[in-house]
Structure 1
Amino acid sequence: MLALDVCLLSPNKRRCKGSQVRSRLSSGEGLTTLRPRLGFPCQQVKDTSTVVLLCSQGSVSETARSVSLDLTQIIFWSFITKGQFSRGPTHSSLSLMDVLWMIVLTVGLLGSHCEGAISCKNEIGGDVDWFILYKKPAGFDYVYIDSTDQNLKKNNKPVNNQAGVLAHTLNPYFERSSDSGFIAYNDQPPNEESVNCKHGHSKGVVMMDKDNVVWLLHSTPKFPKGDKSNNFYPKSGERNAQIFMCVTLKSAQSAQIAQHLKGINAYIFDKHNPEKLRDSSTAPQPPYHEDLLSAGGQQFKRFVKKISTKSEGDLYVTIADTLKSDLYIQTWHSKPETMDTTTDGHKLYNIKPPFGCDHSKWCVSDSENWMCVGDSNRQPSQFKRPGGALCINSKPVADAFREIKSSTDKDSATNCDTDSATNCDPDSDTRPSPSKRLRVGKTV
């Protein structure tokens, strides 16, 4: 039996609905560009309304599988088990009409597979309940851990790859369909406009449909830079280390996420169908924390910190005293290898940046199974700004980050600039750490 790899692309339709298999290939794009993406040869045939690509992979034992690329048109794949096309359908036993009928049958058989709730994604586009991605400085490499394989591993694709972890996860942001919505917030937005200091130093993207909410928190200024899979990661994000945490939640918890964005006074720079993330309640008076349960049952806890000119405005004081744990903390230009103590007696250790020029903000318990991604630096100027964190209760994750904090890069750079300037915190993201720090647990 001969099966075909068939790609159906409509030149006058720039977006497909209900499919998780997508590409940004247009009808005018040549096969030279396409071949490197697919890894095997293709032929292109046109009629007045359709572009069909016939691709082969020689003898393959598999009869069918989905290939998740980063797309705007629907692509369905089945593999050739015998033979190979070399000159297109006119030299094969199948006519163009046969091919089109095969497409119709494939759509009918696989249509239900293409429908699905939004989710965090892995490198091959598969659904994951959560992931944490830690990008290294001076490039696009990273280490990564997720719900399906709770072991820290190195990347196979760069962080800005258009068929990688972030691009797959951000597909609802690129697609902007009527069935989903999103809110993108960043106090250092892509358009570089000045943001008032009343907003948190917070960055993230919240995407939602009728079933799920995907919450992607991160530390990267100007992210997402563009609204396509080939331009979403800012060039400025190459220099410093950055961190991303993604969690998939059921839609019933969307109000809690909306409340969190209120609490940190997130600066929203882009949105689509934002009414899908609604919360009519009044946010509690900070500081406060609340438990969250992911769609897969993983325990999380979110924090909103107090706004104060005193040390009680330090996000990590709130986290340590709530979790009743000492913390190892990484934030931008914190004075490394120093220790403070909260009024409740918990120790806060500023670690030396594991990856040198490190713009990430995270902490890990010294003995408990908690690891958190925050939005605030340990600088007095940020005590008086809103802020928050999301923490995961996972021994594999906590162990992985305790290992990271112990494996500091010996070649760590110290003369690091931020990705983007901010007018709110002259001593936090744009200059070296201040010579004087507030002693945590004492007021001034």
Structure 2
Amino acid sequence: MLYHAHWMDYCFMLLFSEIFSSYIKIQSKDSVAMILMVIWKQIASPIAVNGDASSLDSDVSQWLISDPGNKFCVIDKPYHKSQTKEPAMAVCIDDAAIFGHFNLIAPAQNRGKALIASANPNAWQNTQDLTGPDNHAVVKSLEHVIRADAGNKFIAYNNIPPDVPKVKTKSNSKGVLMMNPNNVDEASWIVHTIPGFPKALTGYVFPPAEIQKGHLFICLTIKKSEIDAIAMALRIATPLIYHNDIPDAEINSRPNLKKLVNGESRLTPPLTATRQISTADGAGLKVIIYSKSEKSKYEIYRRVLVKKLKTNIKVWTTRDKILKSDCRIFNRIIKLVTSPITIGDHASSLESDVSQWLISEQGNKFCVIDKPYHKSQTKEPAMAVCIDDATIFGHFNVIGQNVENCA
């Protein structure tokens, strides 16, 4: 249960890209009446080879493995229609040892990695299948969001809400802010990157299309006194709220929460906000929320985060053709993490990863941002949640150690 004593002070979940790419895996079934049924599966990019990641944008090999059997083949042409008019050759080896190594490179998995404070925060843990309702970290975090409970009421927001087509919003924020409405000081805040998720009070359904992508899911256990500070930051980021069952008495006692649920976003100065909260544990994580409105015209990475953090930053996000790595100003340098990245034995690449996060080069700061490093977000609201913690920073610093050349 969300508020049980065993609940963690924080939980990080990473889901890795399983999107189909261009390495080929063959699955063959029994032939009937001399007609052979062959199913072609394309392996997800990136792949991980003994801890090293490789992605399709920088890998020119072509190979396949059989399913079933122990066959491995290397082919001299890619899986392109154009090669039907060209000569080609494949060399195939039937060997269990060789096959076994390549079969491990890109297994079809619906799992991720979790970092949980109450377990072993010094190591990423493998999750169970995230598409199933079993007792994994995501289901546990959402236990009383996916089904009703008198001890948990919440607002859920998402720019692509579940089962609501063609909604127009400039926000990209996704999350759940929940509390115990009774005389118990229990609350939590979930920040994530998954569109159409979670469905409120109707059971656990992970969007099938999203299991193929890289995502980030953060759950912070907080005290109820922190809710209005979070609501203030959310007001400026103007999220699209698709569910609210928090009692009126709780809402009316928190001015910013009341304005948030009533749609009273702040479109007049100040056009940015900085709010600090901490998690509910005795030591408590220091969390700072930065948000900016669409009226500010600020680019959140350059105009907000690198200035507020007062340090060079390394950023993992998709990037457009306008914004680049920027090394012009000392102690305000923006470096872009190269793709692919490796998290333990999992790999993820920008072509199929929709998370946005950064780490500081000095200090121990990790931030998750709801907008990518695109020029277009200067005209849109945006928000970043930053955590100052050496353990969390250390994990992401290993992930983001390789960066592009900076001009």
TM-score in terms of structure 1 length: 0.59
How many Å apart are 1:298 and its aligned residue?
1.4
Counterparts of 1:217-256 in structure 2, within 5 Å, are 217-225=191-199, 227-229=201-203, 231-256=204-229
Shift of 1:270: 1.8
User: How do 1:18-167 and structure 2 match up within 5 A?
Assistant: 20=1, 118-119=2-3, 126-138=6-18, 139-148=109-118, 149-162=120-133, 163-167=135-139
| Shift, 1:359, TM fit | 0.4
Match of 1:7 in 2: none
User: Which shows bigger deviation, 391-400 or 144-153?
Assistant: 144-153
- Aligned partner of 2:271 in structure 1 is 286
CA RMSD of the aligned region, Å? 2.9
Distance change (3 Å), C-alpha of 1:402 and 1:259: same
Task: Tell me the equivalent position of 2:290.
Answer: 303
CA offset at residue 186 of structure 1? Answer: 0.5
Letter in 2 for 1:267: L
Q: Structure 1 residue 299: deviation in Å?
A: 0.9
Q: RCO (CA 8 Å, sep 6+): is it higher in 1 or 2?
A: 2
SS of residue paired to 1:373: strand
In structure 2, distance between residues paired with 1:267 and 1:195: 9
1:351-366 residue pairs with structure 2 within 5 A?
A: 351-353=337-339, 354=341, 355-356=348-349, 357-366=352-361
Closer/same/farther in 2, CA of residues 182 and 289 from structure 1, 3 Å limit: same
Which stretch of the first structure deviates more once superposed, 354-363 or 134-143? 134-143
Partner residue, 2:178: 207
Cα distance between partner residues in 2 of 1:188 and 1:129: 28
Q: Which amino acid aligns with 1:256?
A: A
Offset at residue 318 of structure 1 (A)? 1.0
Q: Return the alpha-carbon distance in structure 1 between the equivalents of residues 332 and 186 of structure 2.
A: 36
Shift of 1:224: 1.0
Deviating above 4 A after TM superposition, structure 1's stretches of 4 or more consecutive aligned residues are 281-284, 333-338, 341-345
Q: 1:290 to 1:169 in 2, by over 3 A?
A: same
- Seen in structure 2, the aligned counterparts of structure 1 residues 140 and 386 have a Cα distance that, compared at 3 Å, is same
1:187 aligns to what? 159
Distance 1:383 1:152, change over 3 A: farther
Matched with 1:318 is 304
- 1:160–1:167 Cα contact (<8 Å) kept: no
**Shift in Å, 1:146:** 2.3
Q: Does 1:260 find its partner at 2:220?
A: no
Q: Match for 1:273 among 243, 246, 252?
A: 246
Could you tell me how far 1:187 is from its partner in structure 2? 0.4
Deviates more, 1:333-342 or 1:281-290: 333-342
Displacement of 1:223 in angstroms is 1.0
Pair 1:228–1:352, CA change in 2 (3 A): farther
Counting strand residues as a fraction of each chain, which structure ranks higher? 2
2:379 aligned partner, one-letter code: K
Secondary structure of the equivalent of 1:301? Answer: strand
**Alpha carbons of 1:154 and 1:243: their partners in 2 closer, same or farther (altered >3 Å)?**
same
Quote the Cα distance in structure 1 between the aligned partners of 2:130 and 2:399. Answer: 19
The 1:208/1:272 distance shift into structure 2, 3 A limit, reads same
Shift of 1:380: 1.7
Pair 1:390-2:380 in alignment: no
Instruction: Indicate whether 1:340 and 2:326 are aligned.
Output: yes
Distance 1:171 1:358 in 2: 26
Question: How far apart, in 2, do the equivalents of 1:133 and 1:244 lie?
Answer: 5
Q: Is the contact between residue 313 and residue 359 of structure 2 (CA under 8 Å) also seen in structure 1?
A: yes
How far apart are residue 390 of structure 1 and its match? 0.9
Matched, 1:169 2:141: yes
Please list the CA deviations of residues 51-80 of structure 1 after superposition, one character each: whole Å capped at 9, or x if unmatched.
xxxxxxxxxxxxxxxxxxxxxxxxxxxxxx
What is the distance in 1 between the residues matched to 2:361 and 2:396? Answer: 10
Q: How do 1:363-442 residues align onto structure 2 when only pairs under 5 Å count?
A: 363-406=358-401
Count of residue pairs the alignment pairs up: 287
Change (3 A) 1:227 1:333: farther
Which one is further off, 151-160 or 161-170?
A: 151-160
Answer whether contact 1:301 1:390 (CA < 8 A) is retained.
yes
Query: What amino acid is aligned across from residue 280 of structure 1 in structure 2?
Result: P
Q: Deviations over 1:256-312 (max 9, x none)?
A: 1222221211101122226435531476723221211110121111111253585x3
TM-score, normalised with respect to structure 2: 0.64
* 8 Å CA contact retained: 1:150, 1:396: yes
Cα separation, partners in 2 of 1:203 and 1:232, compared to 1, 3 Å: same
Q: Per the alignment, in what secondary structure is the counterpart of residue 146 of structure 2?
A: helix
Identity percentage over the alignment? 22
Q: Distance in 2 between matches of 1:259 and 1:337?
A: 29
SS in 1 for 2:217: strand
The Cα of 1:323 is off from its aligned counterpart by: 1.2
Q: Is the 8 A contact 1:307 1:386 kept in 2?
A: yes
Residue 336 of structure 2 aligns with which residue? 350
Q: Which amino acid aligns with 2:17?
A: P
Structure 2: which amino acid aligns with 1:164?
H
**Deviations along 1:309-361, whole A, 9 cap, x unmatched?**
85x33245411211111111122345699412587850111222421111001
| Contact 1:329 1:363 survives alignment (8 Å) | yes
- Cα pair 1:325 1:366 within 8 Å, conserved: yes
The unaligned stretches of length 5 or more in structure 2 are 19-108, 260-265, 342-347
